[in-house]
Structures are given as C-alpha cells and as structure tokens.
C-alpha cells in the first residue's frame, strides 16, 4: 500500500507543476491607452472612466482595464460608482418685510397694494379700524426678486427681545389676493434661562415658489418684532455625476415615423431623452431597444418630448428614467404621426464610474484598455485607503498601444496543460479506488479471530 500512495503523490505533483502558465501583463497587451495627468504627490488618485473607453473595450463590464506605472508594472485599482457632489447652500437674500398692525383679518381686508411700474417696490396702506402700533399680527414679505423655490425663511429680531413661544401660519401668493396655506403652525421660540438661550427662528416648509409670503401669528401674538427675513432657497438632493453619449438617428426604410440609433457600445443606460432640432416642437414617442441587429425590438418607455421657446431661451422636457438597459441599438417610433419625425438625436445617460488606483511606483501612469483575453483585475481598495485623501485627476487623449488586434478573441487552442492536470487528478482517483478495493478484499479474506 505504501508503494501505491507514493505513486499517487508523484502523479499529482507532476500535474500541479504544469499549472503556472499565466503570463505577466504589459501595456502592449492592450489595444489603446490614455495618459493619467497627475500633479503633485499623492497616495491614491481618482478619475471618471471616459465615454471613449466604453466604446473601445472588449468586455462591457470593463474587466479589460489596467493601470501601469512608469516601469510598466500593474498598479492596484478599483472601479466604483462616482460619489455624489456635495451641495452648497448660497447665503440667503434679505427680503422686504411689511408688518400689519391690529386685527389681522381687518388689516388684510382693508389692505391697499400699489406695485410700481418698474416692479421693484410695494407700497401697503391699511384702512378701516385704527391699528394698534404696539401689536403686530402679521407680516407680508416681497419675494419677487427670488426666482427659485424656497424651502425656509429665517426670522431675525433685535437682541434683548422679550421671551416668546408660539407659532405662525405661513401662506404664499402670486397676486396678494389669493393666499395658499403652506404650513399651518411653524414653531417660533425665543427663551432665555440662566444665561442660556433656546431659539427657533427658522421656518421650514415644503419647496414652494411664490412672489409674496404672509406670516400670521397663531393664537397669541409675539411681544417681539421681526426686523428682517432671509430667504432660504430650496436645494435639490445631491445627485451622483452622470456620463452621457448622444447618437444621431438614421431613417428606417419605408417608415418616415421611425428613427434608429446606434450608441456604439453596450452602456448601462438609466436615463433617455430626445434632442429636438427645432423650437416650438412636440413629439409623442415610443422608445425601443435591442442588443443585436438581428433581435426583435422591445418597448422601453413612452413619453412626450418638447422644445418650447420662451423668448430668451428654450424650455425642454426632463429626461425619462428607465431601469438599467445595456442594449446598444435603439428605435424612436412616433406614436402620433404628423409627418416625418425630424432629425432628432438620442441622449443616453448613466451613472458615472470612477477608477481609483494606488500610486505604486513612479509616474507617469497610463490607463490601458481593450484586451479580449483579459480577466478581472480590479481589487477592493476600500479597507486599504481608509482615511487617505483620494486626489481627482484627468486623463489625456487616447493613443494606440497594441492596436485593434488585441480586441479579437485569441484562437481556440486545446488546453493541453489543463487537460494533463485533469487527467492526473482522474488517474489519482482511480488509484485511490483500486487501493480501496484491494484493501477491502484483503480484509474480507482474513479469517475471523
């Protein structure tokens, strides 16, 4: 039995010895390259994968990317979705504030408004009951100079103002005649105790666009006077950077209400839009896609696409969000034909993908891409670069490395070494089976003690 085991070890060792056949990668193993423009010293760098790379890689999952240093060595890198850009809130603008004295309903019913012809001033006068100069029940705010929607109002009052805890009703209007309640009870607090202050002077409400605002005390009237109001412009949620490609349409034979598009690559598209060639035009379109020219079209979305002139500029529809679609070929079909569809263009958008790499070795660094036989080489850098500043950089113009030949799959060859390995493993299994059989025969042939 010992001789059989020794033979098995020799066979397995012979098979395993032939497994080291992976060759080291070099820049010339890839079709194209781009210089990475790093400035100054850094530990890790980041750049958005250019659209041109998507067009010229051999694998749509970007596995055939590699970053080389000046010595031609591969450096560690990772592909990840580009982070959302931080949003910055601009300082709020101070708006004209008009206090209303006495009973709020009587004051507003007798309110006379004069808007100057230049649209830059508002005069307000009240009639009817004699107002009490010591009681301010409401405020009217002129916000016509602010064109963006507001999401908050910051109240200001004098230092040393009396303590107060209450709420105000917030209303909006575009003509000072019709008012809409935006928030019925926004808290306002000004309390002082033992040298500490509790102040709630910011009024928050859903994003609203209006020319005028009205603040009315709910229940008890505040003993303090609001001296000024600052607008807080609504800020959209931070959105991750996007990559986009625009494709021109081609006429479909004998179908004047259809245009076909070729994106040039399989892209992870999440938004689509049509760019119309002329102002004051509207199209109702069904968008379809397919992976190959021999496949049938499948419907993706329908929508109304428009481009309306507003005098100084054009107003366009927003892009349509869709589930991720990696089809290369698209079709725009007019659902309400009114003649030819026109020379529209298809704009496809997807979340930008960043490449983060470690500055191993010295630069200049090169991004190489396009290798049909390449396997995944991205690594997880997150635990390695925790706390490290990742410096954003740019890529330069593309140039040829190994040429388009690298995009062709290698010729099919018989994997002799892999076949030899599996043969050795199979032979080992047979030897073990034979040994087990002989051992069972020997044990069965012994007389029972």
CB 95 within 8 A of CB 231: yes
**Is it the case that residue 386 has pLDDT exceeding 80?**
no
- The confidence band for 90, taking pLDDT boundaries of 50, 70 and 90, is low
**Is it the case that residue 13 has pLDDT exceeding 70?**
no
pLDDT of residue 312: 66
- CA 268/CA 248 separation, integer angstroms: 19
pLDDT of residue 8: 34
pLDDT of residue 12: 35
What average pLDDT does this structure show over 296-320? Answer: 85
**Is it the case that residue 239 has pLDDT exceeding 90?**
no
**Is it the case that residue 394 has pLDDT exceeding 50?**
yes
Q: What's the pLDDT tens digit per position in 136-165?
A: 889 999 998 888 888 889 999 988 888 888
> What CA–CA distances, in Å, run from 105 to 25, 126, 289?
81, 11, 60
Q: Helix, strand, or coil here: 11?
A: helix
pLDDT of residue 309: 79
Q: Rounded to the nearest 10 degrees, how much is the dihedral formed by the CA atoms of 72, 76, 77, 78?
A: 150
Q: What's the pLDDT tens digit per position in 96-115?
A: 889 988 654 444 444 555 55
- The confidence band for 403, taking pLDDT boundaries of 50, 70 and 90, is confident
- CA 271/CA 242 separation, integer angstroms: 10
pLDDT of residue 327: 93
Q: What's the pLDDT tens digit per position in 161-188?
A: 888 889 999 999 998 888 999 998 889 9
pLDDT of residue 381: 81
């Amino acid at each position: 039995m010992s001789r059989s085991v020794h033979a098995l070890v020799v066979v397995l060792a012979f098979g395993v010895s032939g497994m080291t056949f992976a060759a080291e990668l070099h820049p010339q193993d890839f079709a194209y390259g781009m210089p990475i423009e790093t400035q100054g010293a850094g530990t890790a760098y980041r750049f958005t994968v250019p659209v041109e790379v998507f067009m010229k890689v051999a694998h749509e999952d970007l596995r055939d990317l590699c970053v080389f240093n000046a010595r031609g060595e591969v450096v560690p890198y990772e592909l990840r979705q580009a982070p959302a850009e931080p949003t910055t809130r601009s300082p709020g603008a101070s708006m004209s504030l008009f206090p209303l004295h006495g009973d709020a309903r009587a004051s507003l019913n007798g309110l006379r408004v004069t808007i100057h012809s230049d649209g830059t001033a508002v005069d307000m006068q009240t009639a009817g009951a004699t107002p009490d100069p010591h009681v301010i029940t409401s405020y009217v705010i002129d916000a016509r100079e602010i064109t963006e929607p507001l999401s908050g109002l910051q109240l200001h009052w004098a230092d040393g103002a009396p303590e107060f805890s209450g709420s105000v009703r917030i209303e909006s209007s575009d003509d000072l005649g019709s008012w809409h309640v935006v928030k019925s009870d926004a808290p306002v607090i000004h309390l002082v105790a033992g040298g500490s202050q509790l102040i709630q002077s910011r009024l928050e409400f859903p994003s609203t666009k209006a020319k005028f605002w009205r603040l009315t005390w709910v229940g008890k009237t505040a003993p303090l006077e609001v001296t000024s109001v600052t607008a807080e412009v609504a800020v959209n949620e931070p959105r991750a950077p996007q990559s986009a490609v625009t494709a021109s349409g081609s006429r479909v034979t004998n179908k004047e209400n259809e245009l076909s598009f070729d994106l040039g690559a399989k892209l992870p598209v999440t938004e689509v839009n049509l760019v119309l060639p002329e102002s004051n035009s509207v199209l109702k379109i069904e968008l379809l896609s397919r992976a190959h020219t021999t496949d049938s079209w499948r419907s993706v979305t329908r929508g109304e696409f428009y481009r309306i002139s507003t005098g100084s500029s054009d107003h366009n529809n927003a892009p349509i969000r869709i589930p991720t679609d990696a089809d290369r070929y698209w079709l725009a079909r007019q659902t309400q034909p009114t003649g030819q569809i026109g020379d529209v263009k298809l704009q496809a958008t997807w979340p930008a993908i960043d490449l983060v790499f470690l500055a191993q070795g010295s630069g200049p660094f090169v991004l190489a891409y396009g290798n049909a036989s390449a396997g995944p080489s991205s690594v997880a850098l997150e635990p390695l670069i925790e706390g490290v500043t990742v410096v954003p950089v740019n890529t330069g113009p593309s140039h040829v490395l190994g040429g388009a030949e690298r995009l062709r799959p290698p010729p099919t060859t018989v994997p002799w070494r892999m076949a030899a390995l599996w043969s050795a493993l199979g032979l080992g299994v047979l030897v073990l089976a034979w040994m087990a059989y002989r051992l069972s025969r020997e044990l069965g042939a012994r007389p029972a003690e």
